[in-house]
Structure formats: structure tokens, C-alpha cells
Amino acid sequence: MAQKKNTWLLYALVTMVTWGIWGAFSDQTSLPKTLVYVVWALSMVPCALVALANIKFKLDMRSKPALLSMGVGLLGAGGQLVLFLALDYAPAYLVMPMISVAPIVTVILSAVFLKEKVSKLGLVGIALAFVALVCFALPDNTDGAAKSWVWILYASLVFIFWGVQAFVMKLANNSTPDAESVFVYMAISAVILIPAALLMDRGASFSAFGWGEPLKVFGVQILNAIGAFTLVYANRYGKAMIVAPLADACAPVIMCVISLMLYAAVPTVPQIVGMVAAISCVFIFSRE
């Protein structure tokens, strides 16, 4: 067990890389957002089967871990659906900065209720993670405008959902002997909300796209699922108040590097500062 506890950073790094690649290519599709959600939810299934195989298909059926794990999934998937609503009223450059600092909720809840503590150097790492989050959240354009103040309400809900999700993930991990059960229930929650996604856009249909586009989206979305899977392990063996800001802060570094390589994009000054801050916090947390 001690050896596993020392691997939380490795799991977090896998999450950063997979989410970074996912983020770089996730918008390269003509599918409506609601259908992308459906594909994402289904992409959780293969990872859930791997998780079940790891525990010899002996899913923890006790009520407490099951309810907590379902809560993790519903908070994450529900936040994704609410995000679609927010983006209907305001452009991403307004919505995403508010949502991107959701780990501050995790840090506060973990410090107050889980009594998690870090060293002074660890606090510097957390601060650097939030510097990176803010830098990558800064808008690089001013296209579009908010249609209504309602977007603030929706974005605030996503902020709360995703901030609380990481905290509940830690509680779920503490209540069950295996991380795999947590992820399986997360996958179940994501699939359960598929009808809600389809109701949000009743005109959306896969029949208009054939097999090619959904399969391409599946190939991208499964990276998100893999990252979520390893994030459960990272939260199990690491501190939630460290894992949450680290994962969210460093994935944009991967996205920025991919954009630089594929599209000859030049990073902005805030992005450069964010990259330095994120890489620095990785080195700090590796010593935590």
C-alpha cells in the first residue's frame, strides 16, 4: 500500500496528459454538444469494464460507497450538461474563467472537513497551480457577447458541481477498499444522464453523421475517460487539495504544446507564465 501511495503523482500526470490531448482535439467535430456528451458517456464504459476486471467483477455494493460514487459521477456529468446551457447564453471566454478555478472549492472543503495539510512548499505549489489556471483562462479574443446574465447562474453551478466533485471523490475513495468501484459508479451516472442530454436538443441525431464522425469523437473522448479513471487513483493515494488544482492547471500546458506543434501557434505571454507556473508546481508536488 505504501508503494501505491507514492504513485499518486504518476496517476495525476497521466490525467494531465490525456486531458491535455483531449482538450486539444475535443472541439474538432461537427457533432452537436449534446451528442458529444452521449459519446463521452459511452466512452466511460470500456474503462469501467477494465475497472471491473481489475476487481474480478466484485463491485462494492454497499450503500455508502455506492451513493458517494454515484454522487461523484452525477456532479461531473451534471456539471457538463449545465455547462452546455451556460454556453448557450455566453461565449466560452466568459464562462470558462469562472469554471476553471473550481479547484478552490476542493481545496477549501478538503482543508475544513478532511483536515488535509500540506507543507509551506506545498502551499506555494497550490498557489502556482491557481496562477496557471488563471493565466490559461484569460481570453485571447473578444468575439461574441453574453445574451443574458443567466450564464452567470449556470457557470456558478458548474463551478460548485466540479469543485465539490473532487472533494466527494476523496470521500468515496475513503469509503471503499478499491478505487475501481468509484469509477464504475461514475460511469453509470454518466450513462444515466444520456436521456437528459438528448432532451436538451431533441433535433440532434446521429443518423445525420453516419459512423465516421461519432467514432472520431469517441477516439478523442475516451482520452477524457482514461484521465478520469487515473484521477480516481490519484485522489485515492494523494491529497484532494493538491490533486485537483494540479490536474486542472497542467492539462492546458499539454494543449498549448500540441497547438504549438500542429498549428504553429505562438503562446501568449499569460500562457507562457501559466506553463512555467504549472511545470513548477509539478516539481514542487513531486517533493510533497
Number of domains in the chain: 1
Please give the model's pTM, rounded to 2 decimal places.
0.88
Q: Does residue 188 contact residue 59 with C-beta atoms inside 8 Å?
A: no
Ranges under pLDDT 50 in the chain: 1-3
Phi-psi region of 56 (alpha: psi -120 to 50; beta: other; left: phi over 0): left
> Mean pLDDT in the chain?
88
As a whole number of angstroms, the distance between CA 12 and CA 244 comes to 9
As a whole number of angstroms, the distance between CA 287 and CA 156 comes to 34
DSSP string, 154-192: HHHHHHHHHHHHHHHHHHHHHHSS-HHHHHHHHHHHHHH
The pLDDT value recorded for residue 275 is 87
| Domain that includes residue 125, residue range | 2-285
The pLDDT value recorded for residue 265 is 67
The pLDDT value recorded for residue 4 is 53
The pLDDT value recorded for residue 148 is 66
